[in-house]
Structure 1
Amino acid sequence: MNFDQRQYAVYAAGRALLTDTVAMWADAFARHAPPARPLAVLDLGSGTGRFSPVLAERFGGPVFGVEPHDRMRAAAEADATHPDVTYLAGSAEGLPLPDASCDLVLLYLVWHHVVDRVAAVAEIARVLRPGGRVLLRGAFRDRMPELPWHGWFPGARAIEQEVFPALGDVTAEFGAAGLRRVVLERLRQCVAPNLAAYAERLRLRPYSTFEHMTAEETRAGFAALDADLADDEGAQPVGEDCDLLVLERAGGGPFTRSTGAVA
C-alpha cells in the first residue's frame, strides 16, 4: 500500500480522533507500558504523527516516529511537531535505531501493512530493551469487529479478513523472537459525534480498504449511507470496538548487534 499516492492527503482529516478518544488510547498505552518514566518510545508506522506528540507528553520522550512514506512523514513534520519527537525514514524491516534503544513500541493499525513480518519482528526485538513492551493496536481476521462502515460497504469486511492476520499467527510471530503475549484488551472508541460527521470523513475514503474496492462497490456504499443519513436525527455518536495486543520482551535475552544509529 503506497500511502504517498492518495492517502497522505486525506489521512489526517479522515482518520482524526476525537480528543476524548485520544485520551482513552493514551490511558490504555500507559496502563500497559513499563512503569518507569521517562520511556523511550518507537512509534512504528507513525504516519501523519497523530500519536507521536501524545506519546512524548505521556511518557517523557524521546519518541521516534518511523515512517516509510515520504509524504506521510512530511505531513507529520509539518503538523505534529514536539520537541521530544523525531521523525525518521525507515521501515519495520529496517529500523534506523540502535540496539536496545527503546522501552516501548507502538504499532497502531500497522502490522497488516508489513511485508516481511519475520524480519520486522527481529528488528523490533533488536531495538527493544529487555522488559520492554510492544503495544499492537490492530484487527485480527478471527475476531474482526462489526465496524459501522461495513454495513454500507459489505465487501470491505471480506477484504479486511483477507488483509488482517489471525491473532494466533501474530502471537506466534512475536513469540518466535522472544516476545510473549501479556494481554489482549478490547476497547470501544468513539470515532464521530454523529452519523453526519462520520459520513463526512468516510467521503474522503481514508481507509486503505477503499483502494481494494471497485468503483461500483464504492458508489453503492455511499448511496446506502446517504439513504440512512437522510433519516438520521444526528443524536447518536458513532463507536467501534478495537483490539490492543500487549507483548513483552524477555529480560536479559540476547539480540543481534547493529551499527544503526538515530538520524
Structure 2
Amino acid sequence: MLRRINYDDRQHLVYARGRALPPDVIAAWMAEFARHSPSRRPLTVLDLGSGTGRFSPALADTFGGPVYGVEPSARMRQVAADLTAHPSVSYLQGAAEKIPLPGNGCDLALLYLVIHHIQDLPAAAAEIARVLAPKGRLLIRNTFADRMPDPLWHRWFPRARTIEEELFPTVAEVAQAFATAGMHPVALTSVRHRLADRPADYAARLRLRASSIFDQLTEQEITEGFAALDADLATHPDTGPIEEDCDLLILAG
C-alpha cells in the first residue's frame, strides 16, 4: 500500500532544485504545449498542481494571458511565490477536486506530473471540465502504467518501477475518468526530454530525492541504490546527456 506524500514535510525543501530545468528545455516544452493549444492569443492558463512554479512564468510568457497556479501544498506555494513570481501569475490554494476559479474561464489546463497524486480522478475531471472554456484543451504530461518507460535511475533503484506501476494510471483509466465529464483524448504524443547534460549532474539531482518515489523506498534501498550509482559513475564518468521519452496526452471537450 503506497502512502500519500505530504509535500509540506520535505519535498518543498528540495523540489525547486531537484526538478529545475534549463531555459532551452522549458522552451521546448512550451513549443510542444503551443502545438496542441488554441492558436489565438492571449490564453488564460490553469497550471494545476503548479508546485514551486517551474512552468508557470513560462506559460504566462508563451500564451500571454493570466496563469493560475493551483497547488494544495502551502509550502510549495510559498517557494513558488519566493522564486518564480511573475506579474501575470497567481498562485492559489486549491486542488484538482476543488479548483478556486469560475466556470468556463480557462483556455488551457496543464497537469505536469500531477495526475497520479489526484485522490478522486472523476471528481477532478468534472472540475477541470467545469473551468475549461468550450474549446479549451487539457494537457497531461505523465507516465502511464501501460506505457512505462525504462528510466536510467531504475537501474539503481529497481523497486521504483514496481511502485510506479502501482501508482500511475493507464491511459484508458484517465480517458474513462474524463469521459464522464464530457472530455476525450485527441492526441497522445511522445516528447524527448533532456534531464541532465552529464551523468554527474543527473546523479547530483537524484541525491536531492526530489521525486516522491523516493519517499516510498526504504532508507536501505536508497543507500544501496546510491552506492551502485557511485560505482557506475566511477566506471563510466562521462557518457553524454541523459534523456528520456515523455508522454503527453491531450484532451478536449
Q: TM-score, normalised by structure 1?
A: 0.93
- AA at the equivalent of 2:165: Q
Tell me, yes or no, if structure 1 residue 88 matches structure 2 residue 92. yes
Question: Which of 185, 193, 211 lines up with 2:215 in the alignment?
Answer: 211
Counterpart in the other structure of 1:128: 132
Counterpart in the other structure of 1:261: none
Query: Deviation at 1:122?
Result: 0.6
Counterpart in the other structure of 2:141: 137
RMSD: 0.8
Contact in 1 for aligned 2:67/2:89 (Cα 8 Å): yes
Question: Which of 29, 34, 39 lines up with 2:38 in the alignment?
Answer: 34
Counterpart in the other structure of 1:59: 63
Counterpart in the other structure of 1:189: 193
1:239-250 superposed matches below 5 A: 239-249=243-253
Distance 1:125 1:233 in 2: 48
1:246 partner SS: strand
Counterpart in the other structure of 1:254: none
Distance 2:188 2:119 in 1: 23
Contact in 2 for aligned 1:18/1:192 (Cα 8 Å): no
Contact in 1 for aligned 2:200/2:237 (Cα 8 Å): no
Counterpart in the other structure of 1:117: 121
Query: Deviation at 1:24?
Result: 1.1
Question: Which of 1, 11, 27 lines up with 2:15 in the alignment?
Answer: 11
Distance 1:24 1:14 in 2: 19
After superposition, the C-alpha distances for 1:132-186 in whole angstroms (9 at most, x for unaligned) are 0000000100111111111111100110000000110001111121111110001
Question: Which of 228, 232, 236 lines up with 1:232 in the alignment?
Answer: 236
Tell me, yes or no, if structure 1 residue 179 matches structure 2 residue 176. no
Question: Which of 64, 67, 72 lines up with 1:68 in the alignment?
Answer: 72
1:43 partner SS: strand
Contact in 1 for aligned 2:143/2:247 (Cα 8 Å): yes
Tell me, yes or no, if structure 1 residue 48 matches structure 2 residue 52. yes
Query: Deviation at 1:98?
Result: 0.3
Distance 2:44 2:88 in 1: 10
Between the aligned residues of both structures, percent identity stands at: 57
Counterpart in the other structure of 2:155: 151
Distance 2:233 2:27 in 1: 29
Query: Deviation at 1:70?
Result: 0.2
- 1:78 and 1:62, CA in 2 relative to 1: closer, same or farther beyond 3 A? same
Contact in 2 for aligned 1:52/1:85 (Cα 8 Å): yes
Question: Which of 23, 26, 29 lines up with 1:22 in the alignment?
Answer: 26
- AA at the equivalent of 2:251: L
Contact in 2 for aligned 1:18/1:191 (Cα 8 Å): no
Count of equivalent residues: 249
Q: TM-score, normalised by structure 2?
A: 0.97
Contact in 2 for aligned 1:18/1:190 (Cα 8 Å): no
Distance 1:11 1:175 in 2: 32
Distance 1:102 1:41 in 2: 6
- AA at the equivalent of 2:186: V
Question: Which stretch shifts more, 92-101 or 15-24?
Answer: 15-24
Query: Deviation at 1:18?
Result: 2.1
Query: Deviation at 1:118?
Result: 1.1
Distance 1:215 1:7 in 2: 16
Structure 1's unaligned 5+ residue stretches are 250-263
Query: Deviation at 1:235?
Result: 4.4
After superposition, the C-alpha distances for 1:176-205 in whole angstroms (9 at most, x for unaligned) are 211111100011100001000000011111
Query: Deviation at 1:78?
Result: 0.6
- AA at the equivalent of 1:105: A
Structure 2's unaligned 5+ residue stretches are none
Query: Deviation at 1:240?
Result: 1.2
